[in-house]
Amino acid sequence: CANCNCHSTPSWRRNPLNHSQCLCNACGLYYKLHKRMRPFRITEDGSVKVQRNSQTEPHLCCNCSTTQTPLWRRGKNNEILCNRCGLYYKQHGRHRPIQLSRKS
């Protein structure tokens, strides 16, 4: 793989930035979805590890300020929302009231 240097994958994909190179299935799908190469790091033993979003971009819900959620969502203006606030916004068309966001 031209991105992560792996040698085996269920399917090889063309590198959109250089058609003479191939990407592994994971890197190819990541590029197709995010329009950028999949971030990774090489460990001391030489293996390749995917760098998760929590390591590259810390998230904070713009409505309730939580930092932990099973899924991050986007609001109408592309603002970052936690799962709970994002679902509320999608259903009601407005931000979740703070009284519902925090437990007393």
pLDDT digits (tens, 9 = 90+) for 25-38: 999 998 888 888 88
Place of tokens 């460990």: 43
**Which of 68, 34, 64, 73 is CA-nearest to residue 51?**
34
Q: CATH code at 68?
A: 3.30.50.10
**Which of 29, 52, 26, 28 is CA-nearest to residue 39?**
52
User: What pLDDT, on the 0 to 100 scale, is given for residue 55?
Assistant: 47
In a domain, 85, yes or no: yes
For the chain, the average pLDDT equals 84
User: What pLDDT, on the 0 to 100 scale, is given for residue 52?
Assistant: 61
Counting the structural domains of the chain, the total is 2
In a domain, 5, yes or no: no
Instruction: Collapse the DSSP code of 53 into the 3-class scheme (helix H, G, I; strand E, B; otherwise coil) and give the result.
Output: helix
pLDDT digits (tens, 9 = 90+) for 81-102: 999 999 999 999 998 998 765 5
Domain that holds residue 26: 12-51
Examine the domain organization and report whether 43 and 18 are in the same domain: yes
Structure tokens at 84: 């709970």
Element (H, E) at 13: strand 12-15
